[in-house]
Chains A and B, each alone.
Chain A
């Protein structure tokens, strides 16, 4: 799986959009970009994934650059409950073993 790079931490004001970047410059053509988050002392939770096109679901939006070397996870209206560590993972199949990097610790502040 391609290596991903994320900022270690970010702050966001409650109610504002949280934009979490991820670099995956060595991603291969058949690797998806997956996003998970881990709230303190819980197991990771799947958020969204994409290959080339932008994706949106009830939790977030995923914007992937045209060259696929980076992506941004967008939480449109962050709440205090979105405070967590967010992991960006490049993988061919999320059903296989996943390699978790350091992630981004998002702190949503009132």
Chain B
């Protein structure tokens, strides 16, 4: 099956620093990738939709200047949390849709756990 990877799997940073999370589709091309956030004991919440070669679409309440998304190629999208604060600590999960949409589904990455001290 299609594989989506995320890097890093876990990151700890100091408050005020920026953190970049990569999401890669390993064996397929993804014109669309999604970024979700999950706080402890809560469900996944969509943050933004990333389309290759264009600006991301952010969900209501998500600051686009704080969560920078770049989808520069068909296999890579990055999420940069700028000036991270402890309340940004969360589990960030990306997913990708196969350009060929053979299975009409999206494939999820393993997630990145961000801890801001």
Q: Which residues of A contact B (CB under 8 A)?
A: 34, 36, 38, 41-46, 49, 87, 93-103
Contact = CB atoms under 8 A, between A and B. Distances in A.
Contacts, number: 51
Given A41-B91, A43-B93, A102-B43, A95 B108 contact: no
B46 A98 contact: yes
Given A95-B104, A96-B97, A97-B46, 11 more contacts: A38-B44, A43-B4, A43-B93, A44-B93, A44-B95, A94-B104, A97-B34, A97-B49, A100-B44, A102-B43, A103-B43
Given A95-B32, A95-B97, A95-B101, A44 B43 contact: no
A79 B98 CA distance: 31
Interface residues of B, number: 25
A44 B93 CA distance: 9
Contacts of A43: 4, 6, 93, 95, 108-111
Given A42-B110, A95-B97, A100 B43 contact: yes
Interface string B67-97: 0000000000000000000000001010101
Main secondary structure of the interface of B (DSSP, over half): strand
B104 A44 contact: no
